[in-house]
Structure 1
């Protein structure tokens, strides 16, 4: 099979499992404290990344070697906090609404890359970012008299995930992807373990299958995504990740009885369109700067 085709299959498998992972997170988040769910999930993820690092060239010693230890630690902290906020958002703002707003992450990455990474953004990408932010406002519908402030929770999660992505780009100049994934998983597990026990509550026996599925989804989805990035460029991967929004909306309506509004659909389409244009422009710039080694975190 053509390597590109295999890469696209890996991406589709990854985003499909990510959608299922979000569904399990919402289901469990309605019954248990989010930090407890995240702690158990990151325990499993830490085991996965440790095995991955041990199997990589150079083993654990090579994976532990980093030129930016502080930034790697910050990435791990950011990731675990962002996942907690996302689960809270699933249970308050809703799965579909959260995913619609989270599609703005690539646009926020573009904005933050200017002051934090010193990147230059041309007028075309600048306009795309502005259009995308208008799309976010359409989703939030702030002029509505019934505007729900809880919709700011997924927006906060999107900003945190964007900062995590920018940090991933920064460490990507010196550290391998395996090193970055290892630190994100292990540091995240350590941070969650420090806080999680204070929120420990018994998990019903009927919920453990969902918890096990969540942990498996977390490991398998990242494995497929890593395989995809080994065969495709970031610009080839990014457009297919928007398929997760479609799957999440379907899950939200079919299994959680969420209502999809016209402004949510219209805003999401604007955000996704602006995001796709931004990714394409970045790829166009990269063709003239082959020395760049930026990577997009997952």
Structure 2
């Protein structure tokens, strides 16, 4: 491109949300698969997408990871590692793995495991557990699957919270999916607390630090830009919540894209400002790809908007730590 052509490109102010992208639980899960491939060699079987990102999954496939949805897809008698995804699994899954004599490695995010433990404690204390979350999401399936069928009541919306009829209104506790909208969840919890004042809350907020921080950054940036791009997969709950947060803050053009090739230039072709964030399972290389696509059409002036500092680290599952190989 000549200097004259570059000068003809319109200017675009880009506000990069920070934090964005990978969280500690996602880093741990991806590292678990990569470490297992190094320690034990391929194949390494992974039940469900290790994280909800096609780019990440395809990259691990190329290294020898084999993704399955259920354990019956794993060859009987294999000695290869079988890894459970970051979203967590129902109690029946590791029990099934043990019956099949699989070498199972649990890469569930520790913050999801925290929710599992909370639900189990409430149940042991005789409380009916209310789970605020989205039906069908792997994390919700895993949390509900910690307890006997019928022990957990799923509430997805404020309307459902208004209509919910517990077995014993004085003996309730609630937990939440870790990747929900902060604002939507607060509304649901407020309704439930008004109706059931004795309902027991989590000791510490279940919506994870990464979900909270990424939503707060988007909420700061969204009112200042013409449009917002969230890099993430359509089946990624936390990524969808970022798009919704941008819309709620008044950004009419807020979209979720996985790769630069998905950008609709009819929508994004005439801008003076753009916000960019990424879901907790989206790698930074895809953010850079998006910026490169805009740089081909605009002269970018990039600013980073920091709203929180993250230094959370989760160690690898025990079987994959260096001392396990010694």
- TM-score norm. by structure 1 comes to 0.23
Greater RCO (CA < 8 Å, at least 6 residues apart): 1
Give the alignment's TM-score, normalised by structure 2: 0.22
Greater Cα radius of gyration, structure 1 or 2: 2
Higher helix share: 1
Which has more strand, going by share of residues?
A: 2
